[in-house]
Amino acid sequence: MSTELQLIDTIFFSDKRKNLLLLLKDGPKTIEEIKKGLKVSSSPIMAQIRILLKEGMLVQKGDSYCLSVKGKLIIPKMEPLLATFQVFDENHDYWARQNLRTLPPHLLDRIGELGSCKELLPERTHIFDYPPEIMDPLYKSRTVTEISSIFRPGYPSLYLDLAKKGIEVSLVLERQICERLISDYRADVKEFLNMENAHLFVCDQKIELASSIVTDRFISLSMISKEGRYYNHEMISFEKSALVWGQELINYYKDLSEQITQI
Amino acid sequence: MQHELIDVVFRSQKRRDLLLLLGEKPRTMEEIKTLLDVSPTAILPQIKRLTDSDLVIQKNGNYELTDMGDQVFKKVQSLVKVLTLLEQDNYWIEHDLSGIPKYLLDRIGDLKDCKLVEPDPSQIFEPSTELLNFFSSSRYLMVFSSFYRPEFLPLYTRLGRLESDVTLIFTESVLEKIMQNYQKKVRKLATMQNTELFVCNDGVKLAELMVSDHGMIISLFDNNGRFYYEYMSCSEPEAINWAKELIEFCKSRAWQIENEQYIDNFISTAESEALQESMLFSLN
């Protein structure tokens, strides 16, 4: 097991080399394109290029540089590793505290795609509400879906309001939450279901996450801790890759759910 | 202030080895000491660093990975496997990998324990007894070959008779050649209960692939399309599974020859010319 694996040093312990490799992943680049892409000057980056050429990670073709076969085998492993580490590093204590197995396994393996995240904690004035910061992006969204295993104060008023603004909204709720919604807010739910752009789904499987909101602008997660505790928060990301990840999360639970069209 | 995970994992080889060890399963201090061949004073500070970083937790006398540790482990393992593969042998970068589909190329690290086998130059044109012995008495055998290797035919029929499952995938030209010389044998293979025979188009960028419960071998063309009589071989379960999946992939691109009539058809078209498109569809 204890091989030296010196390449690790070459790859990871220089940001310049790391970024250069990731840049070349998208295809061959000339020195001018590299300088522009990494915003660096010629001589320092040439030194790094020479090191990577020597290690066999790059090859030179004419006046451009590209990943070697070796590079092409390694970089696809390096990228998810770096992305995962970055997500954990940015909010280390949060991820260490949460029960990560509440995420579907195939999406947990791609947690790096969440990219740069920020935890929103509502102040005391909104302690039981959605953090006010998400209202603006929420109302600017074209589609909004929330999956949830907890009863949140936005049901159904917030979603009714979003729907009335012409936003395509879907609620995917665990069975008991959905039942409470229907029994406590019968008239509102009827109005909701009568709208063409509002959809309600009931999930008979356990939704392990507390909740997640996915829109065409952002994704936010609200998770349960390892001890099974919950506090009101949103872990939010606006990155493109996170939106794709979120869409898959939604689809995963939608596939386990049935749509309710009338009550 | 938390340290960056990259430093936690890669700045110390002991920590990296520990992470990879605990990724297999939880271990006691005794096991860690023995398996990594370290003293407690050397490893304890590293364990502490991993527990402080929330990657490892001590539970009932065992050290185990946290959820976060497990994610970090998976990412490190898949990288380390590829690096190990590349450090073992230059075979992979000197040969044409384009015949391997992406989902299997992503897992090429599973072949990290493969060893290069180079036949003795004096025996290059002799039947490969080494391989024949290696695969004799297999409980199952799957073969993809773009080579004409008549010396293997007796092995296939013998295994077939011994009720081992045998899957054979040949390229058109190979099958054609075998037909010319060993038509009876092929007819028998095609009709044996536990033997499946497939044919695929020429031009597959894969020289040879054999896998059984005993192990696997793979040989590739070099980057100029040339072939040398050497192959990579491994008996680790990971590599065997990988090779089986590659066989499945080849199978999905091939047509089964289910009975003698297909063989008659095949022969008649082969005689007139190569397989025609329409003919291939009717085989399907």
Task: Using the 3D structure, point to which of A79, A102, A119 is the last residue of a domain.
Answer: A79
Q: Are residues A117 and A154 in the same domain?
A: yes
| Inter-chain CB proximity A88 and B75 less than 8 Å | no
A95 reaches B (C-beta below 8 A): yes
Q: Which residue of A5, A76, A100 is in closest CB contact with B106?
A: A76
Both tokens of residue B47? 């364990």
Whether B63 and B56 have beta carbons less than 8 Å apart is answered as yes
**Which pLDDT score is estimated for B271?**
60
Per the domain annotation, does A87 fall within a domain? Answer: no
Per the domain annotation, does A1 fall within a domain? Answer: no
Both tokens of residue B96? 């044409």
Ranking A5-14, A45-54, A162-171 by mean pLDDT, the lowest is A5-14
Percent of residues, chain A, with pLDDT higher than 90? 81
| Inter-chain CB proximity A92 and B54 less than 8 Å | yes
| Inter-chain CB proximity A1 and B21 less than 8 Å | yes
Count of C-beta atoms within a 10 Å radius of residue B221: 19
Q: Are residues A43 and A131 in the same domain?
A: no
How many domains are contained in chain A? Answer: 2
Q: Are residues A34 and A147 in the same domain?
A: no
Q: What is the pLDDT confidence band of residue A9, given thresholds at 50, 70 and 90?
A: confident
Q: What is the pLDDT confidence band of residue A216, given thresholds at 50, 70 and 90?
A: very high
Q: Are residues A116 and A212 in the same domain?
A: yes
- Shortest CA distance from B84: residue in chain A: A5
Q: Are residues A110 and A187 in the same domain?
A: yes
pLDDT of B275 over the 60 cut: no
Residues A77-89 have pLDDT tens digits of 999 999 999 999 9
Nearest residue to A73 (alpha-carbon basis) of B234, B93, B115: B93
Per the domain annotation, does A143 fall within a domain? Answer: yes
Per the domain annotation, does A11 fall within a domain? Answer: yes
Q: Which residue of A5, A13, A96 is in closest CB contact with B54?
A: A96
Residues A180-201 have pLDDT tens digits of 999 999 999 999 999 999 999 9
Q: Are residues A143 and A222 in the same domain?
A: yes
pLDDT of A220 over the 60 cut: yes
Of A13 and B95, more confident? B95
pLDDT of A119 over the 90 cut: yes
- Shortest CA distance from B56: residue in chain A: A96
pLDDT of B282 over the 50 cut: no
What is the amino acid identity at position A58? L
Is the ipTM of this structure higher than 0.85?
Answer: yes
Task: Using the 3D structure, point to which of A20, A50, A79 is the last residue of a domain.
Answer: A79
Ranking A4-18, A46-60, A211-225, B88-102 by mean pLDDT, the lowest is A4-18
Q: Are residues A98 and A225 in the same domain?
A: yes
Full-model pTM: 0.86
Residues 38-77 on A with a CB inside 8 Å of B are 56, 68-70, 73-74, 76-77
User: A103 vs chain B: nearest CA distance in angstroms?
Assistant: 11
CATH code of residue A60: 1.10.10.10
Q: What is the pLDDT confidence band of residue B273, given thresholds at 50, 70 and 90?
A: low
Which residues, at least 6 apart from A156, have a Cβ–Cβ distance to it below 8 Å? A171, A181, A185, A188, A189, A192
Summary mean pLDDT of chain A: 93
**Which pLDDT score is estimated for B272?**
58
Residues B27-40 have pLDDT tens digits of 999 999 999 999 98
**Which pLDDT score is estimated for A171?**
96
Q: Are residues A28 and A107 in the same domain?
A: no
| Inter-chain CB proximity A8 and B10 less than 8 Å | yes
Both tokens of residue A74? 């390694």
Strand partners, B167: B142, B196
Per-residue CA distances from A100 to A96, B23, B90 (Å): 9, 16, 39
Both tokens of residue B35? 């398996």
Q: Are residues A29 and A118 in the same domain?
A: no
Q: Which residue of B4, B6, B83 is in closest CB contact with A74?
A: B83
User: A93 vs chain B: nearest CA distance in angstroms?
Assistant: 8
| Inter-chain CB proximity A56 and B93 less than 8 Å | yes
| Inter-chain CB proximity B82 and A74 less than 8 Å | yes
The DSSP result for B64-94, as a single string, is EE-HHHHHHHHHHHHHHHHHHHHHH-SHHHH
Rounded to 10 degrees, the C-alpha dihedral A21/A22/A27/A32 comes to -70
Q: What is the pLDDT confidence band of residue B18, given thresholds at 50, 70 and 90?
A: very high
Question: Vertex B131, ends B125 and B136: CA angle to 5°?
Answer: 130
**Which pLDDT score is estimated for B148?**
85
Q: Are residues A34 and A129 in the same domain?
A: no
Task: Using the 3D structure, point to which of A79, A103, A135 is the last residue of a domain.
Answer: A79
Per the domain annotation, does A180 fall within a domain? Answer: yes
Q: Are residues A121 and A237 in the same domain?
A: yes
**Could you give the CA distance from residue B133 to residue B120 in angstroms, rounded to a whole number?**
16
Per the domain annotation, does A2 fall within a domain? Answer: no
Residues of B with CB under 8 A from a CB of A: 2, 4-6, 9-10, 13, 17, 20-21, 36, 53-54, 66-68, 71-72, 74-76, 78-80, 82-87, 92-93, 97, 105-106, 108-109
Q: Write a three-state SS string for chain A.
A: CCCCCCHHHHHHCCHHHHHHHHHHCCCCEEHHHHHHHHCCCHHHHHHHHHHHHHCCCEEEECCEEEECHHHHHHHHHHHHHHHHHHHHHHCHHHHHHECHHHCCHHHHCCHHHHCCEEEECCCHHHCCCCCHHHHHHHHHCCEEEEEECCCCCCCCHHHHHHHHCCCEEEEEEEHHHHHHHHHHCHHHHHHHHHCCCEEEEEECCCCCCCEEEEECCCEEEECCECCCCCCCCEEEECCHHHHHHHHHHHHHHHHCEEEECCC
**Which pLDDT score is estimated for B36?**
94
User: B55 vs chain A: nearest CA distance in angstroms?
Assistant: 8
Contacts of A73 in chain B (CB under 8 A): 82, 85-86, 92-93, 105, 108
Q: What is the pLDDT confidence band of residue B55, given thresholds at 50, 70 and 90?
A: very high
**Which pLDDT score is estimated for B283?**
45
**Could you give the CA distance from residue B266 to residue B263 in angstroms, rounded to a whole number?**
5
Per the domain annotation, does A60 fall within a domain? Answer: yes
CATH code of residue A181: 3.30.870.10
Both tokens of residue B27? 């271990």
Percent of residues, chain A, with pLDDT higher than 70? 98
Whether B76 and B83 have beta carbons less than 8 Å apart is answered as no
Residues A19-75 have pLDDT tens digits of 999 999 989 999 999 999 998 888 888 999 999 999 899 999 999 999 999 999 999
Contacts of A8 in chain B (CB under 8 A): 10, 83
A1 reaches B (C-beta below 8 A): yes
Contacts of B79 in chain A (CB under 8 A): 74, 77-78, 81
User: A118 vs chain B: nearest CA distance in angstroms?
Assistant: 17
Contacts of B93 in chain A (CB under 8 A): 56, 68-70, 73
Does an H or E element contain B270, and which? helix B260-272
Q: Which residue of A2, A56, A88 is in closest CB contact with B68?
A: A88
Residues B80-134 have pLDDT tens digits of 999 999 988 899 999 999 999 999 999 999 999 999 998 777 776 666 788 888 8
- Shortest CA distance from A102: residue in chain B: B67
The mean per-residue pLDDT over the stretch B187-213 comes to 89
User: B43 vs chain A: nearest CA distance in angstroms?
Assistant: 14
What range defines the domain where residue A13 resides?
7-79
Residues B152-167 have pLDDT tens digits of 888 888 888 888 999 9
The mean per-residue pLDDT over the stretch B23-27 comes to 96
Contacts of A1 in chain B (CB under 8 A): 17, 20-21, 36
pLDDT of B279 over the 80 cut: no
Q: Are residues A113 and A59 in the same domain?
A: no
Q: Which domains does chain B have, with CATH numbers?
A: 5-79 (1.10.10.10), 89-283 (3.30.870.10)
Per the domain annotation, does A85 fall within a domain? Answer: no
Contacts of A74 in chain B (CB under 8 A): 79, 82-83, 86
**Which pLDDT score is estimated for B278?**
46
Summary mean pLDDT of chain B: 88
User: B83 vs chain A: nearest CA distance in angstroms?
Assistant: 7
Q: For A198-222, b where at least 16 C-beta lie within 10 A, e where not — what string? A: bbbbbbeeebebbbbbbbbbbbbbb
